[in-house]
Structure 1
Amino acid sequence: MAVQYDLEGQKRAYAKWAPIYDKVYVKLLADAQRKAAATAARCGPNILEVGVGTGLVLPYYPHHCRVTGIDLSADMLRKAVDKKVARHLGQVGLLAAMDACNLGFADHSFDAVTVPFVITLVPDPEGALDEMHRVLKPGGEIIVASKLGADDGPVMHIEQALAPLVKKVGWSIAFKASRLRNWAAKYDDMEVIEISPVFPVGFFKLVRIRKNAV
């Protein structure tokens, strides 16, 4: 039987977050967002951002880029459109309401796909990554910025102790970096090439998954 996901419930939750999201996260996420945008731009100009939200990452993309942003929440997207207009972000093109597991783009449309702080919130992360793989050009990269739980060692035990506090701010330690590696291993052309720590003190990670030519 097919798994049913509460997308409408997610939309309602995002609608509540939309007015205050920037105030809560703008400084905390800035380092990871800036590095994700720069990494994507090095892959080529055509970039898809999955989970664009209120558009916090949009100003960090270089002006030579052509950025398309999608999000499940229309309330979040309205904030992103406001940023695009107010800040004259000419590098930003289409901003559309769309399910990450059902992207309305042709195969091999983008040089890079950025996924800033959303992969752990998607009800079907592997399904969303499958769609990103489909629309990504050979040689391109999926760049994931997220809180990823440690697979083992002392950090894992610390995270388990802090799990209730982490959950209160909307993150989870349940999503491990190994889950991205396991997903990439399904494909002959996908490879996790880097997992690097970003501010604050490596709490967040930036993951680069390359689509190799086969």
Structure 2
Amino acid sequence: MDIDAVRTSYARWARIYDRSFGAVTQSGRRRAVEIINSHKGSVLELGVGTGLALENYAPHLSVTGVDYSDEMLEKAREKVAQQKLDNVVSLRQMDARYLDFPDDQFDTVAAMHVLSVVPEPERVMSEIARVCRPGGKVVITNHFMSTGGVMGAIERMTAPLTNVLGWHPDFSIETVLQEPELHVEEQRSIPPLGMMTLMVMTKARPS
């Protein structure tokens, strides 16, 4: 997937995202935020999109959101203003492969249904590890490729349509397990129909 395809796809999706894919994934998104709310400090949400998760963050958290799509961010900013979400400190247009933040900046980094829609997800994972503080949490929700069966066959067949769909249907879980500093604490299936996975990782502290 290339970055122009991402921009075009999400400019097209922005107006209907909340009622379509956003609605389907909202249950999993809420479960992820519940975990994030049990911690303190600063949160970076990658691929904040139209801001569907923003109203669910606890007031004690300081939330920064980034997204590559200006059209999606416009919707997110409208939600922040309308709902007076004072704990959302910044919403910025940014390429997740090149995060404009210092090392060890955030206590929690969230990537909800975003890793399979970005170019070079391995590079994005490296950036996630870089900006997360040692001892901090990385919370991921995503669909990962099935290992077999009918669903796996469908995913392989639709993989060439990645740029049209706007996401990788054959996205491998191994992609998010590449960073040696990030260790999986929890992994479980979440709605809809257990097709998505919720993963909580911790960044190792220096020895």
Calculate the TM-score normalised by the size of structure 2: 0.89
User: Equivalences for 1:40-119 in 2 at 5 Å?
Assistant: 40-119=36-115
Query: Shift of the alpha carbon at 1:171?
Result: 4.8
The aligned residue for residue 25 of structure 2 is 29
Tell me if structure 1 keeps the 8 A contact 2:30–2:56: yes
SS at match of 1:120: helix
CA distance in 2, matches of 1:174, 1:25: 17
Q: How many residues align?
A: 202
Give the distance between the partners of 1:171 and 1:203, measured in 2 at CA. 15
DSSP 3-state at the match of 1:206:
strand
Structure 2 residue aligned with 1:122:
118
For structure 2, the residue ranges without an aligned partner over 5 or more in a row are none
Once residues 88 and 201 of structure 2 are traced to their aligned partners in structure 1, the CA distance between those partners, rounded to angstroms, is 23
2:184 maps to what in 1? Answer: 192
Alpha-carbon deviations, 1:58-107, whole Å to 9, x = none? 11111111100000011100000000011111221100000101111111
In 1, distance between residues paired with 2:36 and 2:61? 9
Q: Which residue of 2 aligns with 1:177?
A: 173
Distance 1:80 1:133, change over 3 A: same
Corresponding residue number in structure 2 for 1:162: 154
**How far apart, CA to CA, are the structure 2 residues paired with 1:124 and 1:55?**
23
Higher deviation after alignment, 97-106 or 166-175:
166-175
**Aligned pairs for 1:3-14 within 5 A:** 6-14=2-10
Which segment is superposed worse, 196-205 or 49-58? Answer: 196-205
Question: Structure 1 unaligned runs (5+)?
Answer: none
Larger RCO of the pair (alpha carbons < 8 Å, separation 6+): 2
Matched AA of 2:100: G
Q: Please tell me whether the aligned partners of residues 160 and 173 of structure 1 are also in contact (alpha carbons under 8 angstroms).
A: no
Say if 2:107 and 2:132, in contact at 8 Å, map to a contact too.
yes
- Alignment of 1:212 with 2:200, yes or no, is no
User: Is the contact between residue 41 and residue 47 of structure 1 (CA under 8 Å) also seen in structure 2?
Assistant: no
Match of 1:18 in 2: 14
Once superposed, what is the RMSD of the aligned Cα atoms? 2.0
Write the distance in 2 (CA, Å) between the matches of 1:169 and 1:105: 30
- Conserved? CA contact 2:117–2:168, under 8 Å: no
Q: Residue deviations 1:29-82, cap 9 Å, x none?
A: 111111111222333220000000100111111111110000001110000000
The amino acid that maps onto 1:210 is T
